[in-house]
A and B are shown apart, each in its own frame.
Chain A
Amino acid sequence: MRELAEPTATDGDTPQQPPLLVADDVRTYFRSARGLVRAVDGISLSLQRGRTLGIVGESGSGKSVLARSIMNILPQRSAIRAGGEIRIEGREIRNLPRSEMRKLWGLELAIVFQDPMTSLNPVIRVGDQLTESLRLRLGMRRGDAADRALELFRSVGIPAPQRRLREYPHQLSGGMRQRVTIAIALACEPKLLLADEPTTALDVTVQRQILDLLVARQRERQMATILVTHDFGVVAGRVDDTVVMYAGRAMERAPTALLFTAARHPYTDALLRSIPRLRNRPHTRLQAISGRPPDLVDPPVGCRFAPRCRHAQPRCLTDDPPLVPAEAPGHEYACFYPVGTDEGAGALERNLRAGQTAAGMPITPDAAGGRP
């Protein structure tokens, strides 16, 4: 299925067409009592029509804020669009007024939120929540909208759709509710779908069903999709490219398969090592990343990951590493001492010999291990 869909999406029409989404050095800050929170601090990415992108990062790395920046639905009072451009089909949208944005919302851009418990209106029947956008945005008549709603419910795998349409959100389980929010997001056939941790609030078996559903609908409609998650398992095998975010920055970007086999950034590497694996013996210690993400009000000078990085060298504490291309096309990383290179191996060795990194974090060899 995948092999069939990909050539038409990438090789066929992308060279001539401009990317659907271009984000250039996007910065989104928030006012807080303690000062400016630099939630997204200079992210660039681009996405072709019909392609899928994963954004992975731990809590507080700015991935949800990035998704909301792209949607342009940041809270009006506290958010500051501190810089950068976001273009949809070549059109700058960062500073579009609400009335102009409304022409894009739903029709070009749609979003599925994390928690289906809160993203559906509790006092309105789910069918009405769905037909409302069909009627208002697409100008459908009541009867047509009802037929289309039924069809959408079927397409997202809701059993007994006719009956479910007349139910309230509290009558549906979490997985069913998330299917409803996906149906609503798909209602007007958007060109770009953002899914902001769409399965985090669901239990594991349902997670898989929802993710597979998203991927199936994405392939069927050739709809560009951004999947935001904190879980590498979610992006594996489901998205074309993956961006790893940390403290509001992109640490590494690569075709997803490559990221799992040839991660360059020590942060990506550490994240991959921390995934529990079935082939490990029982009671194997997980390799956690020590420390906490930096304070986004006052991020560290130099590389933001340096205080927790096993490779950290003096240079990492003063200079901010730019994104540089790796050997493979489409692979970029922001590190002076990347994993899998002589520089990186040398840096790790120096730190192991000293017993601590340049940032003063103690490290021991036993946790270093081989690549998983």
Chain B
Amino acid sequence: MAQPESAAVTAEPRAEPGSGAGERHQRPGAARYGIVFWLAVAWLVIIGCCAAFAQWLPVGDPEEINVRDMLLAPSAEHLLGTDGTGRDVFARLVHGARVSVVVSLAAVAFGMLVGGTLGIMAGFFRGRFETVVMAVVDVILAFPGLVLLLALVAYVGQSLTAIALVIGFLSIPIYARVARANTLSVAEREFVLAARAMGAKRRRLLVSEVAPNVVLPLLAYALVATGVIIILEGSLAFLGLSVQPPTPTWGSMIAEGKRHLDTDPHVAAFPAVVMFLTVLSLNLVGDRLRNRFDVREANV
């Protein structure tokens, strides 16, 4: 295989040892990331399925109150026991995933889209636009987050969409900063100058040279931020400001379980553990992916 190829190219260039780098990148994925990474991915897939298919899963009604069965320990009938009003904890966890997943995904998407766009444009065009955007961003950042969140929720309302948008709005500044910082360094790189010297328009430079290089670090950051948002939604629910009861959310389950901590800790513990595992998985996956992007940029 190597024989004819090297013979064919000796006249012009010698075949250069570029294939070594290529092989390193083509190793099978499973071996590269390790078992912990795949466990984390599996957990996230399970949570995702729960959120998507909750009403078709054979888990019972999460809102059915049965005072006779309150605070039961885990059993065959109630896998994870029941809470203070006799609702099935397992069913509520499965249905509660929907709020966490929808809020975190929507908030991240909204924040990243708006914040990322503003940040990339600020970093690329500089000048007055950058000054104004970054000033606004700094003002939002300087405001105590939870207070602003409470004020906005009180004003906008407590529907799923409203909460997702409010949390997304609050994360705009961080994405804007990350995007701007990355844009500043990418825009100085020579390939942007090279594209300019080939006659590319500014819009073209922004969209096809700078943006693809900024999106990767932004995505890696977003994965970690998703975990933060799940916690944030939990805090809101704990304060009674997330989606209105009786819709189950992990945060409100913990808040409700708090009353029975001394006698029946499982009511608060199960949602807390689920939330913990979810956030941990997101961080693990996000970290691993970010490492991969970094390695790749270092290679280049």
Using a CB–CB distance below 8 Å, which chain A residues touch chain B? 71, 73, 98, 102-107, 109-111, 113, 115, 117-124, 132-133, 136-137, 157-160, 167, 169-173, 175-176, 179, 181, 184-185, 187-188, 205-206, 209, 213
Contact = CB atoms under 8 A, between A and B. Distances in A.
30 contacts: A73-B196, A73-B197, A105-B198, A106-B197, A107-B199, A111-B197, A113-B193, A118-B189, A118-B191, A119-B193, A121-B209, A122-B191, A122-B213, A123-B213, A124-B208, A133-B199, A133-B200, A159-B8, A159-B15, A170-B296, A170-B299, A171-B21, A171-B22, A171-B25, A173-B17, A175-B16, A187-B198, A205-B14, A206-B13, A209-B12
B3 to A, nearest CB: 13
B198 A137 contact: yes
Nearest to B299: A170
Contacts of A110: 197-198
A139 B50 CA distance: 50
Nearest to B20: A173
B216 interface: yes
A157 B12 contact: yes
A185 B296 CA distance: 25
Nearest to B216: A123
A124 B296 CA distance: 13
A173 B194 CA distance: 19
Given A124-B212, A159-B8, A117 B197 contact: no
Interface residues of B, number: 36
B194 A119 contact: yes
Contacts of B204: 136
B197 A121 contact: no
Given A105-B197, A133-B199, 18 more contacts: A71-B197, A73-B196, A102-B201, A105-B199, A106-B198, A111-B197, A113-B190, A121-B212, A122-B296, A122-B300, A157-B9, A167-B22, A170-B25, A171-B21, A173-B18, A184-B198, A209-B13, A209-B14
A102 B199 contact: yes
Nearest to A120: B191
B5 interface: yes
A106 B25 CA distance: 33
B191 A175 contact: no
Contacts of B197: 71, 73, 105-106, 109-111
Given A117-B300, A157-B13, A160-B5, A176 B18 contact: yes
Given A121-B209, A123-B216, A175 B13 contact: yes
Chain B, interface SS category: helix
B216 to A, nearest CB: 7
Given A159-B8, A173-B16, A123 B212 contact: yes
A188 B199 CA distance: 11
A122 B194 contact: no
Interface of B: 5, 8-9, 12-18, 21-22, 25, 189-191, 193-202, 204, 208-209, 212-213, 216, 296-297, 299-300
B190 A115 contact: yes
B199 A159 contact: no
B190 A118 contact: yes
A209 B16 CA distance: 12
A105 B199 CA distance: 5
A109 B198 CA distance: 8
Contact of A119 (B17, B22, B25, B190): B190
A98 B201 CA distance: 9
Chain A, interface SS category: mixed
Given A105-B197, A106-B197, A106-B198, A169 B16 contact: no
B290 to A, nearest CB: 15
A107 B200 CA distance: 11
A136 B203 CA distance: 13
A233 B144 CA distance: 64
Smallest CB-CB A-B distances: 10 pairs = A157-B12, A105-B199, A122-B300, A173-B18, A106-B199, A173-B16, A106-B198, A118-B190, A170-B299, A119-B190
B13 A179 contact: yes
A132 B208 contact: yes
A136 B213 contact: no
Contacts of B201: 102
B199 A137 contact: yes
Contacts of A123: 212-213, 216
B16 A119 contact: no
Contacts of A181: 194
Contacts of A107: 199
A240 to B, nearest CB: 24
B148 to A, nearest CB: 35
B104 to A, nearest CB: 26
B208 A176 contact: no
A108 to B, nearest CB: 10
B25 A121 contact: no
A106 B198 CA distance: 4
A40 to B, nearest CB: 18
Contact of B18 (A113, A121, A171): A171
Nearest to A169: B300
Nearest to B193: A73
A111 B194 contact: yes
A176 B191 CA distance: 16
Contacts of A133: 198-200
Nearest to B298: A170
Contacts of B22: 167, 171
